[in-house]
């Protein structure tokens, strides 16, 4: 048996084992760009105010409305607002602010206000589609008609970590605290029946 034949047999026997070993190695993970490790310092997302939580959230609602946000949800101690941006014709950004107002443990007339911003980015994706047009009377003549249908595709969703943005929001909220008055809730009274005279 020649040396070449032995070499081929050995290669045929060993090659599958070598490929299996290569497949078994874990793939290298891609680095995460612009990733900031979670530190749980949270100083940018919270402020303390010397007013009750209902009044704080009403000031937050007015602050969002004054900047063009569409208020999507409002409760006594929670407000959400959304604003839309379009940096380019095919790039769409949505920014949502969520504000939660809670009372301080030792003082019911003091509030701690939490805020977080969520930024979602979309792009326009063009999907090409083709259709055939059949012409009656001429037989089976079909012409390809090309068209396109645009759709918005979400490409990113992340919590906003810009401390300066939150600082400006809290400053604006503070300007509305002195001017806002929360209406008192009136308990409905039962109607008294009229007396027949």
List pLDDT tens digits, range 120-153.
999 998 776 655 555 555 555 455 555 566 788 9
Please give the tally of structural domains in the chain: 1
Structural domain contains residue 47: yes
Taking phi over 0 as left and psi of -120 to 50 as alpha, with beta for the rest, 137 belongs to: left
Structural domain contains residue 7: no
Distance CA 190, CA 58 (A): 29
Q: Calculate the CA 13 to chain-centre distance.
A: 54
Nearest in space to 133 (alpha carbons), one of 121, 146, 123, 116: 146
Structural domain contains residue 114: yes
Nearest in space to 166 (alpha carbons), one of 116, 118, 121: 116
Task: Identify the segments of the chain with pLDDT beneath 70.
Answer: 1-36, 128-149, 182-197
**What confidence score (pLDDT) does residue 50 get?**
92
Host H or E run for residue 15: helix 3-24
Structural domain contains residue 110: yes
**What confidence score (pLDDT) does residue 83 get?**
97
Structural domain contains residue 31: no
Q: What is the pTM of this model?
A: 0.65
Q: Which residue's entry shows tokens 């014709």?
A: 89
**What confidence score (pLDDT) does residue 180 get?**
80
**What confidence score (pLDDT) does residue 23 get?**
46
Sign of CA dihedral 100, 103, 105, 106: positive
Sign of CA dihedral 52, 55, 57, 63: negative
Q: What is the CATH number of the domain that holds 106?
A: 3.30.310
**What confidence score (pLDDT) does residue 29 get?**
56
**What confidence score (pLDDT) does residue 34 get?**
64
**What confidence score (pLDDT) does residue 35 get?**
63
Structural domain contains residue 169: yes
**What confidence score (pLDDT) does residue 153 get?**
92
Distance CA 57, CA 179 (A): 13
Nearest in space to 163 (alpha carbons), one of 79, 37, 35, 45: 45
Structural domain contains residue 160: yes
Structural domain span for residue 122: 42-177
Structural domain contains residue 13: no
**What confidence score (pLDDT) does residue 25 get?**
45
Q: CB within 8 A of 171, min separation 6: which ones? A: none
């Amino acid at each position: 048996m020649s040396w070449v034949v032995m070499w081929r047999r050995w290669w045929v026997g060993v090659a599958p084992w070598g490929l299996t070993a290569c497949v078994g190695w874990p793939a290298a993970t891609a680095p995460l760009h612009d990733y900031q490790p979670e530190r749980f310092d949270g100083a940018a997302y919270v402020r303390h105010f010397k007013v009750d939580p209902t009044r704080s959230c009403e000031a937050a609602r007015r602050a969002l409305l004054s900047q063009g946000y569409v208020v999507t949800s409002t409760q006594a101690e929670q407000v959400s607002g959304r604003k839309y941006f379009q940096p380019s014709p095919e790039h769409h950004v949505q920014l949502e602010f969520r504000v939660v107002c809670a009372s301080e443990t030792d003082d019911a007339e003091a509030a701690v206000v939490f805020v977080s911003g969520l930024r979602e980015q979309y792009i326009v994706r063009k999907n090409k589609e083709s259709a055939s047009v059949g012409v009656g009377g001429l037989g089976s003549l079909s012409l390809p008609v090309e068209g396109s249908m645009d759709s918005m595709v979400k490409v990113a969703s992340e919590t906003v970590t810009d401390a300066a943005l939150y600082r400006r929001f809290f400053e604006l909220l503070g300007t509305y605290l002195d001017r806002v008055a929360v209406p008192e809730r009136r308990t409905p009274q039962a109607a008294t029946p009229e007396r027949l005279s």
